[in-house]
């Protein structure tokens, strides 16, 4: 099968295998013991080509692939816009980011290296905007 076509078509057995990786102790990602929400995946839309590898490997359903909004697309530099247009303006989104357990499978799977994991800011710091010294 053509490699390009394979990137856009995910076989059912691959999806099942990837989804089980977070719960099977013999699979990569099984050691992710972080509670949900401590880390958040950040997708760089300038690099992401929307291939969906992150969707396939994430055992916690954090990712979806969709079309980049007009607002975000228009804010991109010209060369990035051309690349995005070549890939149908598709990019990964993280609607389930609060479920992330920082296993890192998405980071390893992304062929464009467009995903990184960042520690989430605690809610009390977000509400105040800064930490007060005692």
Distance CA 25, CA 83 (A): 39
Summarize the confidence of residues 108-123 as an average pLDDT. 87
Tokens of 77: 């530099």
pLDDT of the residue at 35: 85
State how far the Cα of 61 lies from the Cα of 98, in Å rounded to an integer. 10
Residue 132 lies in a domain: no
Domain at 50, CATH number: 3.30.70.20
| 18 located within any domain | yes
Confirm whether 125 is domain-assigned: no
pLDDT band, residue 122 (cuts 50/70/90)? low
**Domain tally, the chain:** 1
Domain that holds residue 84: 3-119
Q: What is the mean pLDDT of the chain?
A: 77
State the pTM of this model: 0.67
pLDDT tens digits for range 16-68: 544 444 444 455 555 677 888 889 999 999 999 999 999 999 999 999 999 98
């Amino acid at each position: 099968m053509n490699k390009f076509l394979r990137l856009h078509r995910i076989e059912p057995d691959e999806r099942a295998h990837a989804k089980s990786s977070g719960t099977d102790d013999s699979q990569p990602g099984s050691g992710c013991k972080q509670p949900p929400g401590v880390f958040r995946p950040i997708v760089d839309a300038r690099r992401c080509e929307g291939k969906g590898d992150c969707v396939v490997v994430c055992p916690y359903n954090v990712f979806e692939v969709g079309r980049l909004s007009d607002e975000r697309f228009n804010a991109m530099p010209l060369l990035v816009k051309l690349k995005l247009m070549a890939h149908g303006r598709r990019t990964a989104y993280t609607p389930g980011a609060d479920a992330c357990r920082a296993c890192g499978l998405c980071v390893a799977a992304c062929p464009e290296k467009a995903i990184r994991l960042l520690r989430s800011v605690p809610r009390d710091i977000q509400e105040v905007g800064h930490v007060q010294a005692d």
